[in-house]
């Protein structure tokens, strides 16, 4: 049987499905470029469940969004996305979809492939060509993309890099922040690493604000970027729940402030707004 050639590249193919392309060509190319399949590569990454569409009294959920591959410098620090197509498609046929996903996921480097090579779109603005074709064996390594990423995000010193690359907390269950939580956490770490002291995150009810705050504080604490960190809430039950649940990994380094008394032997403090403010500056916890 004579296999047909890809219509764009002229390379002899075998009527391969998208799954075949990923297994036979893309995954080996990822491995050859030096990416660790256990810690730096995720396949078939679903990141939205689909928009809920209401029609009269009926509600249906639309199609969710799923990336074929996401490449990470380390867990939860994404660098690139790869969109695969079967060999009846052109090399860049999946680029528009991949760019949409990259925009949502805040990822600067985008690749598409039909098994004959890669089309590389660099959103950083530092490449001579925004988009170019690469041979299958020329996928950039983790070190190369990390170097490009640091330039793009203005991570210029080793100290700043240490802050941005600080590990997330993991309880071993495989739980990962939702994509918008990752975006928020990583952007905050990059801003702090760049010397920014005032940062505002606006998140809706039910989107995991406390968990997002926990991961930010954990990384600031572990990287020794901040010596003492204060978490405020407006209700006592929220402080207690936070201490017992999301913030539990801080263990003996954490305490709850009451009556404006601060024990400086701790590093993580939780309290109510009302407990740390007063009419006189001397009574204000922030003076410490």
For residue 55, give the CATH number of its domain. Answer: 3.90.1570.30
Same domain, yes or no, for 143 and 245? no
Domain end marker among 115, 131, 152: 152
Same domain, yes or no, for 191 and 116? no
Q: How many domains does the chain have?
A: 2
**40-49, 122-131, 228-237, 254-263: the lowest-pLDDT one:** 254-263
pTM of the model: 0.87
pLDDT of 260:
76
- 11 within some domain: no
- 223 within some domain: yes
Same domain, yes or no, for 118 and 222? no
* Range from 51-55, 140-144, 195-199, 272-276 that averages highest in pLDDT: 140-144
CA gap 58, 40 in Å, rounded: 41
pLDDT at 50 over 90: no
Domain housing 51:
18-152
* CATH number, position 243: 3.40.50.300
CA distances from 210 to 44, 105, 111, 128, 216 (A): 28, 21, 34, 42, 10
Mean pLDDT over residues 52-74, rounded?
Answer: 86
Same domain, yes or no, for 246 and 261? yes
pLDDT of 12:
47
Same domain, yes or no, for 164 and 266? yes
- 3 within some domain: no
Q: In whole numbers, what is the pLDDT of the chain averaged over residues? A: 89
- 10 within some domain: no
Same domain, yes or no, for 137 and 248? no
Same domain, yes or no, for 167 and 111? no
Same domain, yes or no, for 257 and 185? yes
Look up tokens 């492939």; give the residue.
113
pLDDT of 283:
55
- 13 within some domain: no
Same domain, yes or no, for 267 and 162? yes
- 214 within some domain: yes
Domain end marker among 112, 127, 152: 152
Same domain, yes or no, for 148 and 164? no
Domain end marker among 129, 152, 175: 152
Same domain, yes or no, for 59 and 175? no
- 6 within some domain: no
pLDDT band at 280 (very low <50, low <70, confident <90, very high): low
pLDDT at 282 over 50: no
pLDDT of 55:
80
Same domain, yes or no, for 62 and 34? yes
CA gap 268, 285 in Å, rounded: 14
pLDDT at 76 over 90: yes
- 195 within some domain: yes
**10-19, 112-121, 162-171, 180-189: the lowest-pLDDT one:** 10-19
């Amino acid at each position: 049987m004579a296999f047909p050639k890809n219509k764009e590249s002229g390379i002899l193919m075998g009527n391969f499905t998208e799954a075949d392309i990923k297994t036979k060509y893309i995954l080996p190319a990822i491995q050859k470029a030096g990416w660790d399949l256990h810690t730096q590569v995720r396949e078939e990454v679903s990141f939205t469940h689909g928009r809920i569409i209401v029609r009269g009294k009926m509600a249906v959920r639309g199609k969710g969004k799923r990336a074929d591959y996401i490449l990470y410098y380390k867990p939860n620090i994404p660098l690139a996305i790869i969109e695969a197509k079967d060999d009846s498609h052109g090399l860049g046929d999946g680029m528009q979809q991949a760019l949409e996903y990259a925009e949502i996921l805040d990822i600067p480097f985008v690749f598409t492939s039909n098994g004959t090579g890669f089309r590389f779109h660099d959103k950083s603005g530092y490449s001579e060509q925004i988009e170019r074709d690469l041979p299958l064996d020329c996928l950039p390594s983790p070190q190369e993309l990390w170097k490009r990423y640091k330039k793009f995000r203005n991570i210029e010193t080793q100290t700043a890099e240490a802050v941005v690359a600080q590990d997330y907390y993991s309880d071993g269950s495989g739980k990962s922040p939702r994509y918008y939580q990752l975006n928020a956490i990583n952007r905050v770490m990059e801003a702090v690493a760049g010397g920014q002291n005032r940062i505002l995150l606006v998140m809706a009810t039910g989107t995991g604000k406390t968990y997002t705050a926990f991961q930010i504080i954990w990384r600031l604490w572990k990287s020794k970027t901040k010596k003492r960190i204060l978490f405020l809430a407006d209700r006592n039950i929220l402080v207690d729940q936070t201490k017992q649940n999301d913030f539990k990994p801080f263990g003996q380094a954490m305490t709850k402030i009451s009556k404006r008394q601060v024990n400086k032997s701790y590093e993580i403090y939780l309290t109510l707004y009302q407990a740390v403010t007063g009419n006189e500056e001397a009574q204000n916890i922030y003076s410490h």
